[in-house]
């Protein structure tokens, strides 16, 4: 279903024009308006889901297949040196548009972007406590 006031619903379904790289029954892939690097793209499902929690499993699986197609394309056409898939859920995690989207970000040597995190430290005991918290 589409959500009335959702900009990515409108873009995904072609009501607002976008620089489309790929389209099928389930998805539209567009260029990000504020690209981190050349070729930064967004994979948008045509059906509204606010985030990964709401996304149907079938759509989640299909999104990764589209991501793989796009990664291949970026490598072939843009000759990127690397590529990040980024997917933010919730304001705390940096989500600004509340319609699920998967970022495909081609990376180039010395592109000046910092998409990785600062590694922390942990003990085996701490890891075990977290493992238990998640799985039990």
Q: Which residues are catalytic?
A: 101
Other residues' Cβ atoms within 10 Å of the Cβ of residue 39: 21
Q: Are 87 and 103 in contact (CB under 8 A)?
A: yes
Cα–Cα distance between 39 and 35 in angstroms, integer?
A: 7
Name the minimum Å distance from CB 33 to ligand 5GP: 4
Count of residues that interact with ligand 5GP, criterion CB under 6 A: 12
What separation in angstroms does the CA of 129 have from each of 22, 46, 97, 118, 121? 44, 40, 34, 22, 14
Nearer Cβ to ligand 5GP (17/123): 17
Q: Contacting Zn ion (CB under 5 A), which of 40, 46, 48, 103?
A: 48
Which residues bind to ligand 5GP, rule: CB under 6 A? 7, 18, 30, 32-34, 42, 88, 94-97
Which residues bind to Zn ion, rule: CB under 5 A? 3, 6, 8-9, 48, 99
């Amino acid at each position: 279903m589409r959500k009335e006031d959702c900009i990515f619903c409108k873009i995904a379904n072609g009501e607002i024009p976008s620089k489309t790289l790929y389209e099928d029954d389930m998805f539209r892939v567009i260029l990000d308006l504020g690209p981190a690097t050349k070729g930064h793209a967004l994979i948008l499902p045509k059906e509204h889901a606010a985030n990964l929690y709401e996304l149907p499993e079938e759509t989640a699986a299909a999104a990764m297949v589209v991501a793989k197609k796009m990664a291949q394309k970026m490598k072939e056409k843009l000759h990127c040196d690397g590529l990040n898939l980024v997917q933010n859920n919730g304001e705390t995690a940096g989500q600004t548009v509340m319609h699920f989207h998967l970022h495909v970000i081609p990376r180039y040597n010395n592109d000046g972007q910092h998409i990785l995190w600062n590694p922390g430290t942990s003990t085996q005991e701490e890891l075990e406590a977290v493992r238990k918290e998640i799985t039990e």
